[in-house]
Structures are given as C-alpha cells and as structure tokens.
C-alpha cells in the first residue's frame, strides 16, 4: 500500500503529538511533601511527623522531593528556574501538608508539578 505525502505528514504529526509530554496549566495539588529517596525505598515508614528530620535533611542535600496526595499519587516537585522561591517554600514544608500550584507534567510515566506557589 502506497502512502501519499499527506498520509505520511498526518502520521508524523500524530506520532509527534503522542510523544509530546502532557502538560496542564495552573493546577493545584495538595498532599504531604516527601523526600523521594526514602519514599521510593520504603514508603510505609517514610511519611509523617516521625520522618520530618530525615525529610528536611534530604531536602537540604538537594535530593528529589515530591508531593504525596491522599489518593497515593506522587508528584515530583520541579523548580521553575524563573521562580525558585516557590520551590524553596515547598521544600520548607518537608513532611508537612502543602498545597502546590503550577503546571502538571507527565513524561514517560513520571508525573511532576512545576512549583509556581506553595502554601
């Protein structure tokens, strides 16, 4: 079966759209700020107030931090290089509840949120 140029162009466009990272603007996500290193290694013991000191230490070391929602979704917290104070405010809430606002992203099965504000 031969494809014309229009057929190949449509196929290429569909593949590019399917491969592009998904993004949604201005979402709010609420959950516990977690340190990803501990959480992925042992999720049953690396949340809550009893883990706060460790989570704060991991944040200060620059280890990846995330947000764990009540329905057990995890969002990797991502710094907006033009607005680093919002990301720092989120990290300051290690092992505490926070509401983060920003753009959700999902690439290769990893979901994250670019932190635009944190409270």
Residue 10 counted as domain residue? no
Q: Please report, for the domain that includes residue 46, its CATH number.
A: 2.40.50
Whether residue 20 has pLDDT greater than 50: no
Residue 36 counted as domain residue? yes
27-37 confidence digits (pLDDT tens)? 999 999 999 99
pLDDT (0 to 100) of residue 26? 80
pLDDT (0 to 100) of residue 1? 47
Q: How many domains does the chain have?
A: 1
User: Considering the entire predicted model, what is its pTM?
Assistant: 0.78
Residue 5 counted as domain residue? no
Integer Cα distance of 117 and 58 in angstroms:
21
Residue 79 counted as domain residue? yes
pLDDT (0 to 100) of residue 65? 98
Residue 12 counted as domain residue? no
How far is the CA of 82 from the CAs of 57, 67, 104, in angstroms?
Answer: 25, 21, 17
55-111 confidence digits (pLDDT tens)? 999 999 999 999 999 999 999 999 999 999 999 999 999 999 999 999 999 999 999
Residue 1 counted as domain residue? no
Residue 17 counted as domain residue? no
Question: Which residues contact residue 4 at a Cβ distance below 8 angstroms, ignoring those fewer than 6 apart?
Answer: none
Residue 55 counted as domain residue? yes
């Amino acid at each position: 079966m031969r494809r014309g140029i229009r057929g190949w162009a449509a196929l290429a466009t569909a593949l590019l759209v399917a491969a592009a990272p998904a993004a949604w603007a201005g979402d709010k996500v609420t959950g516990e700020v977690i340190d990803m290193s501990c959480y992925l290694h042992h999720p049953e013991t690396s949340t809550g107030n009893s883990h706060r000191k460790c989570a704060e230490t991991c944040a200060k070391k620059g280890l990846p931090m995330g947000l764990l929602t009540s329905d057990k979704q995890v969002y990797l917290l991502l710094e907006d290089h033009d607005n680093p104070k919002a990301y720092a405010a989120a990290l300051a809430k290690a092992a505490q509840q926070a509401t983060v606002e920003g753009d959700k992203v999902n690439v290769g099965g990893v979901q994250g949120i670019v932190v635009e504000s944190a409270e």
